[in-house]
Amino acid sequence: MPISTIAFLVENKPGVLFNVTNLFRRRGFNIESITVGPLENPELARMTVSVKADAKIINQIVEQLDKMVDVIKVKRLDPIRTVMREMVLIKLNTIDPMSREEALRCVNEYHGLILNIEPDSIVVEVTGEPSTIDEFIRKVQPLGVIELSRTGVTALEKGHLKL
């Protein structure tokens, strides 16, 4: 099943995130990724949710979100007309000098940033499309991933389109 991304503007107040995620829970859908942040108007926030579901179900979710009191505007994003990014912080085992060299090569290949270097590990940041992040994680997995944290997808439509 494909992953669809839905963006929506909500009132920036307590309980809104709970109400939105509860809608997904009641429908029995796992949220693959969710990001939330205030806008230039601090009374509003933008949510971006990615979920695995077919088009019919996504349309139903969009309709239900649109009926919620705290949701101001909602839109299913067209992946072709959208810029999507995600960030991962990942701590890699680099006790072995060869693994450190390979880790640094991978970070460079994916245009990542080295945030911390310790004698036995490094912490790096990589930003890109979700598929790029998945690919990077697979590539460094054999080196020894100690820990990682992903932000979730954030997205904006291309051109003059606006939510």
Sorted by where each begins, the domain ranges of the chain are 3-77, 83-154
Residue 24 has pLDDT above 90, yes or no: yes
Inter-helix orientation angle 55-67/16-27, to 10°: 140
Which superfamily, per CATH, for 83-154?
ACT-like. Chain A, domain 2 (3.30.70.1150)
What is the percent of the chain with per-residue pLDDT over 90, rounded to a whole number? 88
Mean pLDDT for 60-75 is: 95
- Mean of the per-residue pLDDT values of the chain: 95
Q: What is the pLDDT of residue 163?
A: 86
Q: What is the CATH number of domain 3-77?
A: 3.30.70.260
Sorting pLDDT into bands at 50, 70 and 90, what band is 7? very high
What is the percent of the chain with per-residue pLDDT over 70, rounded to a whole number? 100
Q: Name the 3-class secondary structure at 9.
A: strand
H helix intervals, the chain: 16-27, 55-67, 97-109, 130-144
Closest among 2, 1, 7 to 83, alpha carbons compared: 7
Mean pLDDT for 128-157 is: 97
Residue 29 has pLDDT above 90, yes or no: no
Rounded distance, CA 90 to CA 66, Å? 36
Indicate the length of the chain as a whole number.
163
